[in-house]
């Protein structure tokens, strides 16, 4: 389970976040390409912005479910 105390610092403020257990593996970027992006050093990903529309929320939830390391959290 993702740990909100270990959020990647680049995450946009809001309930969805990536923590420091991201590998990265690219699964979530495929699920939510408009929301999640790679950090500059490509060592992890983060939420560049929070989902707003129902489609974006669905994409964020799918990204969270698909993450093999459970690095994506939802504090909502
Ligand atoms: S699916 Fe999980 S481990 Fe893979 S890039 Fe996304 S947050 Fe990182």
The torsion region of residue 14 among left (phi > 0), alpha (psi -120 to 50) and beta comes to left
**Is the pTM for the entire model greater than 0.85?**
yes
CA angle 41, 11, 43 (to 5 degrees): 20
For the chain, which residues make up each domain, given as ranges?
4-74
Q: Is 39 in the pocket of ligand 1 (CB under 6 A)?
A: no
Ligand 1 atom, smallest distance to 66 CA: 1
How would you label 33-72 residue by residue, b for 16+ Cβ within 10 Å and e otherwise? eebbbeeeeeebbbbeebbeeeebbebbbebbeebeeebb
pLDDT in tens, 13-48: 999 999 999 999 999 999 999 999 999 999 999 999
Return the CATH fold of 4-74. Alpha-Beta Plaits (3.30.70)
């Amino acid at each position: 389970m993702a740990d909100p105390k270990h959020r990647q610092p680049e995450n946009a403020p809001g309930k969805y976040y990536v923590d420091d257990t991201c590998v990265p593996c690219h699964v979530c970027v495929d699920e939510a390409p408009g929301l999640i992006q790679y950090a500059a050093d490509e060592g992890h990903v983060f939420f560049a912005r929070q989902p707003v529309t129902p489609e974006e929320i669905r994409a964020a939830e799918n990204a969270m479910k698909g993450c093999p390391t459970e690095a994506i959290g939802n504090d909502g």
